[in-house]
Amino acid sequence: MGQTNSMTVLSEYKVIGGLLGLGPDIFLEILSEIRYYQYLIQLLGGCVGIAQETYNFPVGTFANYCPHNQHIGIYYGSGLYGAVCCKGTETKGNSYFYNNQTVKLEFDSEKGTLIFFVNGLQQPVYISGIKEKVRFVIFMFWEGSSCTIKSLKNLKSPTSGHVKNEKAIQW
């Protein structure tokens, strides 16, 4: 796989026309090879985060209801006040995100952290202690909602740092 100076880009994985056609096994294989990556999306109503690799959500499931919320770490938009829900515990402190804003997730598989950004600003509440295989999840609540994945990158080093009032939630 070719390398640029700073990252591997999605096109180098020979993904044409988006990630939908990859299937879960191929997508997980790609993600398992990446140490740092950014998952850039544009959400119109919903939440985004990670789930335990082995957990399957039934169709129509609301992510925050038991038992499903015991298997996820997600960041809610304006619907739940910008809260991060990690294995059933909600923590407020991040900005709300709304329609047409860019939400970025940066997962460091060696440190076991998942850090959230809204429109380029790192959020203070993040998830740490992730020492198992996970997959990214996107939940959209309303009919007609959409999500655009803008970028999936393998970074040589994280773009996140420390921010005021940061708070780690244990996975």
**Domain positions in the chain:** 40-156+164-170
* Spans of the chain below 70 pLDDT: 1-45, 78-80, 141-144
pLDDT value of residue 2: 45
Cα–Cα distances (Å) from 113 to 59, 78, 107, 109, 144, in that order, read 28, 23, 6, 7, 32
DSSP 145: -
State whether residue 10 is helix, strand or coil: helix
pLDDT value of residue 5: 41
Question: Cα separation of 154 and 84, whole Å?
Answer: 24
Say what the pTM is.
Answer: 0.72
CATH superfamily of 40-156+164-170: SPRY domain (2.60.120.920)
